[in-house]
Structure 1
Amino acid sequence: MKNIRRDSENNIFAGVLSGIAKQFNWNTTLLRIIWIILTLTPFPGLIIYLLLWIIISKDNLQ
């Protein structure tokens, strides 16, 4: 399992999406756009984001 950390350098809200994008070498902006689209649909995007915020630990960079 990959060690995913919330990104404290490239975050907008909590760094969850930027941490996931950084770990898997994905485009952060594209991932954020996909998340917004999923949140506006019946898909429970906001609930999943909040759960990931609780589960994924923050990186040590301040």
Structure 2
Amino acid sequence: MTTRRLARSRNRVLFGVCGGIAEHYGWSPGKVRLAFVLSCLLPGPQFLLYIVLAILMPGPDKH
């Protein structure tokens, strides 16, 4: 059994966080990005969380 780890994606717009989350869960990267942008219209720390994830998530695998 192989375990996929959560990592930033090479399929990136800014830092690859939304793409990495989408790849990890098998979701569409476009839908995850759209959900993030729409969530930024609501009050909360969404953008701060994105920056923290961009720093903490490992980069894409270099195969």
Number of positions where the alignment pairs a residue of Structure 1 with one of Structure 2: 61
Structure 2's unaligned 5+ residue stretches are: none
Tell which structure's C-alpha radius of gyration is larger: 2
Q: What is the deviation of 1:60?
A: 2.9
Question: 2:6 — aligned with what?
Answer: 4
TM-score, normalised by the number of residues in structure 2: 0.85
Greater relative contact order structure (CA < 8 Å, 6+ sep): 1
Structure 1's unaligned 5+ residue stretches are: none
Structure with greater helix share of residues? 1
TM-score, normalised by the number of residues in structure 1: 0.86
**Residues 39 and 46, structure 1, Cα contact 8 Å, conserved in 2:** yes
Q: Which runs of 4+ in 1 moved over 4 A?
A: none
Q: CA RMSD in A?
A: 1.9
Amino-acid identity (%): 25
